[in-house]
Chain A
Amino acid sequence: MAAEGLKRTSLYPAHLRRGARLVEFGGWEMPVQYAGIVEEHRAVRTAAGLFDVSHMGEVEVEGPGALDTVQRLITNDAARLEVGAGLYSPMCLPTGGIVDDLTVFRMGERRFLFVVNAATTDKDLAWIHEHAVNAAVRNRSAEIALLALQGPRASAILARLTRPGSADLPFFHIVEGVDVAGVRCFISRSGYTGEDGFEIGCPWDEAPRLWETLLDAGREEGLVPVGLGARDTLRLEAALMLYGNDIDETTTPLEAPLGWTVKLDKGEFIGREALLRQKQEGVRRRLVGFEMRDRAIPRRGYTLLAGGRAIGRATSGTFGPWVQKGIGLGYVPPEFARPGVEIDVEVRGQPVRAVVVRLPFYKRSA
């Protein structure tokens, strides 16, 4: 478990104190679990969990050309965002391949905040710089710590500590200058677990105090610290893409189930031509979700079969702690990309029965 060359968040000592097991993730030494993946997963589905996601990158784009820059960079339509609103979007290459998937929030008329993946922050920053016109690009990753408070009790827990309140914040909206237990934060109602929840940005060095205060305040509600292990099983049950696994520079949003984020009619953007052509010609493969029919667990890289022939590969796979079965994602030719289609997954050389299902695997009740 050598940590040489790995970056640490300001919460590293707090993770050690709470007995976290640490792993390398995207160049960072991060907690993979505290009490155990299944227990933490269940806590987020039934109560609440607190995640350190300070490793993620924050990039601000500000200036007269900020909106045009954002519009050029992403496939989704930022022009419809009022101040305080945000959206999820891929950022594409001219080929339509995905540079990264990110959230972007409109912090002001001419100021936007990108929240990007940890492992791709440097690449994203260079890409944003290269395409920014008449706008300043600032990497704020080193100064902003990010905590994610997720689960059905998240809203009640946060409301106790915030002035003004956070409970009324609509989904995918952000508010700055919020006092959370004496720490000045921005709060967005967003997350990566399939549950209601918030992402809370604060100054890097204030995060340890905020972390402890939140855990104390939420203890009676069942709030527990959660590591990247459960973050991955939660996001997979919710069928949220993991960059580097399910999507990357060789896959397009139309092949992944992200067609809804591609607004071909919004005007020019990087990748538009390729995506338009792909839409007209039809995709050659699609990312689908599948469930195991027999007791087996699919893993990333396992071959997907139909009639004994390889048709694709799993990009993610796990045992879903909440849905209690083996679940996975993978690319297959379009003729197999319909719910109900039976496929096999090659598990240690043996075909095991699976079925393509409608995504997500888990959806919270409203």
Chain B
Amino acid sequence: MYPKDLRYSSEHEWARVEGDRVRVGITKFAADRLSDVVFVELPEVGAVVTFMQPFGVIESVKAVSDLYAPVSGNVVEVNTALRDSPEVVNSDPYGAGWIIVVEPSDPKELDKLMTVEQYLKVIGEEA
């Protein structure tokens, strides 16, 4: 449910380092809490995102939540498939439900994110 190779933010985003880029999504916990995701407001490719600042919005049937950047940098890819199939965030949060890919301006920020063990403690689940 919570891959070991990811880093986690306190706002329930995950970050996966892929070479010199970082793929970003929301955790299974966040997806479950939101329940049925019906809309994701995405940034444009080229947008600049800032560590732990909102970069987009995710909406479920019932609720609106900001998406927070787990790392600063340039957005180099956006998951445009979410425009037509936002529910993928629920069904495959670590795979097809990814949200953006960032070229980080300060990769050291990733060290401020949580390990899976730390994150599981925050959400009150056992490893």
Contacts and interface: CB of A to CB of B under 8 A. Distances in A.
A123 B1 CA distance: 47
A295 B61 CA distance: 13
B35 A319 contact: no
B86 to A, nearest CB: 10
Interface residues of A, number: 17
A188 B89 CA distance: 41
Nearest to A41: B61
A87 B11 CA distance: 48
Q: Is the interface of A mostly helix, strand, loop or mixed?
A: mixed
B57 A319 contact: no
A297 to B, nearest CB: 5
A37 B39 contact: no
Nearest to A326: B39
Nearest to B87: A38
B62 interface: yes
A297 B59 contact: yes
A39 B59 CA distance: 17
Contact of A299 (B36, B41, B64): B64
B38 interface: yes
A76 interface: no
Contacts of B36: 36-39, 321
Contacts of B38: 38, 297, 319
B61 A321 contact: yes
A279 to B, nearest CB: 37
Nearest to B57: A348
Interface in A27-49: 32-33, 36-39
Given A36-B35, A295-B39, A297-B39, A229 B61 contact: yes
Nearest to B63: A299
A233 interface: yes
B39 A319 contact: yes
Contacts of A233: 61
23 contacts: A32-B62, A36-B35, A36-B36, A37-B36, A37-B61, A37-B62, A38-B36, A38-B38, A229-B61, A233-B61, A295-B39, A295-B83, A296-B39, A297-B38, A297-B39, A297-B59, A318-B61, A319-B38, A319-B59, A319-B61, A321-B36, A321-B61, A348-B41
The 3 A-B residue pairs with the shortest CB-CB distance in the complex, in nearest-first order: A38-B36, A319-B38, A37-B61
